[in-house]
Chain A
Amino acid sequence: MSDLNGRKVILHDMCLRDGMHAKREQISVEQMVKVATALDDAGMPYIQVTHGAGLGGNSLQHGFALASNEEYIEAVASRMKQAVVSVLLLPGLGTMKELKSAYDSGARSVHVATHCTEADTSPQHIACARELGMDTTGFLMMSHLSDASSLAQEAKKMESYGANTVYITDSAGFMLPEDVTQRVTALRDVLKPETEIGFHGHHNMGLGISNSIAAIAAGASRIDGSVAGLGAGAGNTPLEVFIAVCERMGIETGVDLFKTMDIADEIIFPMMDHIVRVDKDSLTLGYAGVYSTFLLHAKRAAERFGVPARDILVELGRKKMIGGQEDMIQDTAMTMAKQRGLLKQNF
């Protein structure tokens, strides 16, 4: 057994939110209920359920899901025996009106997400969530773009608005274990002891598991992942693998390993439109530090304008585009296509 023997960690499954990206938002209400009830039965404590971009996500920018967020949340929440249903909210996209409506539909936990340097766009939403009595997380996206001490200052702001947990979010799957250790340690130094720290990984460099373990070793107590890794880019930290590693190390998750393995093979894997894995494009995301959700958008733009997806992703990384700027993928592809003589201005 390792040094982490006996440590308790709270798992948060992302299949039905981050996984929506990998499914182009096309998961049906029935599929959500099937996945969520199986996860609930396996003992998963938190399950996130929304459009991939969260509340207010239905848009031309982010795609339209098969059902409204309220329909998904209600269908899932009404069938949970023990799991808490959570949602994602990005200020600038989702609003407090939508948060209240999600609460009325049965959501009791929220990730309020901002880019890692822009925590001060979240005070209204974090305070509103706390007022509703929700388990409230401040979620610092693209955390690799900030150094540890700046990130800790942003985390401190979210704590001051009322967040009871702050997540370090490796949206690009760029971080190495030592990057995670530094950042979690810096947050642990400045946050109140009762404020929890979480880590949300992407598997673009194959490091979802080891990064999550590094986070726990440095003091994190909440881990996001998804069974079978169903998520943006090369997916989230695959939870069935992570649970197996935790068992070997003596870390307690309270989630049934064999049941989770069965869900991965029998329910999630057959749902995948493409096998979510490290391939040349998702690896490019991790290597270049690009927002994982950009992957499928870049592939679509590549098909339409004849510029390879990898070239588009590298250019987006160079231009420092962040989550939410999906419109800039078509724009960048068009500009590159013009430069390469593949596209003429249409007037």
Chain B
Amino acid sequence: MKKIRCALIGSGNIGTDLIYKIQRSELLEPVWMVGIDPESEGLTRAAAMGLKTTYEGIDGLLPHVLEDEIQIAFDATSAYVHAENSRKLNELGVMMIDLTPAAIGPLCVPPVNLKQHAEKVEMNVNMISCAGQATIPIVSAVSQIQGVEYAEIIASLSSKSIGPGTRANLDEFTYTTSNAIEVVGGAKKGKALAIINPAEPPMIMRNTIYCLTEGEPDEEKITASVLAMIKEVQKYVPGYKLVNGPSFEGNKVAVFMEVEGLGDYLPKYAGNLDIMTAAATRTAEMFAEEILAGTIQLNPVEVAS
């Protein structure tokens, strides 16, 4: 069966983990890996796994896009260079999946709003953050039943799973995730907290979701909605598990989740890495299905100068 050919930009933890996820896909094929450091472990590994590689950044990839029929690219670099990467690839008709906090395209949480984005043929969709992917489905599950005045999420991440980029830019993570809790999760106000825990052995990613509902929460319907949503996420992240809750206290709903990864590149504790790459892969697959079925077509984006 024909597969959609993909390029991965950024050879850090996320980019490297994506190779494994995409190689397993029935709809996607990883063809290029783009880095900026010829010595990087990610590029060496990509080459060993059969990908074409360049260490000249995005410009090293551009001349090969058309001949290698690249249609989807994943950007796991940084918010600072993403806009430029996206512009250059969109011009060549390549659809962009943004794993940085740049968020220039619409925010995507697969079980909540992916279908709408694919139908609109968005040429750039943003994956928010690992905490966003792990918590917004639950906020949405509650807000589908009842209005949510305020939602707050706490992500506990193991120290070993957090790369230097995220560490140096924690504020961007906070802003992007808080905003997405409102825009995608459907809460009137959102707040995101991140904790980096250095315990050994490393702790598995944990997420707590609090929602304040408008009026007394409908416990039965909210519980059913949350459980159904967890099943949806488990389709692409099997290690997405409910530990405690939904627990109700006044109009506060509390849900305690754990995310165990598949252990592709980083070990299983790094569920935060997995949920991000799995959501990005799921997003690309949805677009790929439509492209292969001929229901959507990617066109070069003309940029007004």
Contacts and interface: CB of A to CB of B under 8 A. Distances in A.
A320 B198 CA distance: 9
Contact of A92 (B174, B219, B227): B174
B198 A115 contact: yes
Contacts of A347: 223-224, 227
A319 interface: yes
A27 to B, nearest CB: 22
Contacts of B246: 346
A61 to B, nearest CB: 6
B223 A91 contact: no
Interface string A317-335: 0011110110110110011
B194 A92 contact: yes
B197 A334 contact: no
Contacts of B245: 334
B157 to A, nearest CB: 9
A118 B196 contact: yes
A115 B245 CA distance: 28
Nearest to A53: B193
B252 interface: yes
B113 interface: no
Contacts of B195: 92, 322, 324-325
B154 A61 contact: yes
Q: How large is the interface on A (under 10, 10 to 19, 20 to 34, 35 or more residues)?
A: 20 to 34
B203 to A, nearest CB: 7
A320 B34 CA distance: 38
Main DSSP-derived SS at the A contact region? mixed
Interface in A25-56: none
A118 B247 contact: no
B243 A123 contact: no
Contacts of A325: 154, 156, 195, 197
A331 B156 CA distance: 13
Contact of B252 (A59, A60, A120): A60
Interface string B131-155: 0000000000000000000101010
B174 A95 contact: yes
B159 A95 contact: no
B198 A117 contact: yes
B51 to A, nearest CB: 31
Contact of A331 (B170, B191, B243): B243
Contacts of A4: none
A323 B200 CA distance: 16
Interface in B13-66: none
A21 to B, nearest CB: 17
Given A121-B167, A322-B195, A346-B246, A327 B256 contact: yes
Contact of A322 (B197, B212, B256): B197
A347 B193 CA distance: 28
Contacts of B224: 347
B170 A124 contact: yes
A115 B196 contact: yes
Nearest to B224: A347
A315 to B, nearest CB: 14
B210 interface: yes
Contacts of B175: 95
A346 B242 CA distance: 12
B244 A328 contact: no
A96 interface: yes
B169 A93 contact: no
B168 A331 contact: no
A93 B208 contact: no
A118 B159 contact: yes
Nearest to B227: A347
B171 interface: yes
Nearest to A99: B171
A59 B170 contact: no
A93 B174 CA distance: 8
B164 interface: yes
Contacts of A117: 159, 198
A321 B208 CA distance: 14
Contacts of A327: 154, 208, 210, 254, 256
A59 B193 contact: yes
Contact of A61 (B159, B168, B193, B244): B193
A28 B196 CA distance: 32
A207 to B, nearest CB: 25
A96 B175 CA distance: 11
A324 B193 contact: yes
Contact of B170 (A121, A322, A335): A121
30 contacts: A59-B191, A60-B212, A91-B171, A92-B174, A92-B193, A92-B194, A92-B195, A115-B196, A115-B197, A115-B198, A117-B198, A118-B167, A118-B196, A121-B170, A124-B169, A125-B171, A145-B198, A320-B199, A321-B197, A322-B197, A324-B154, A324-B195, A325-B197, A327-B208, A328-B156, A328-B206, A330-B244, A331-B243, A346-B223, A347-B224
Given A120-B167, A121-B167, 9 more contacts: A60-B150, A61-B152, A93-B193, A95-B174, A120-B164, A124-B169, A327-B256, A330-B254, A330-B256
Interface of B: 150, 152, 154, 156, 159, 164, 167-171, 174-175, 191, 193-200, 203, 206, 208, 210, 212, 219, 223-224, 227, 243-247, 249, 252, 254, 256
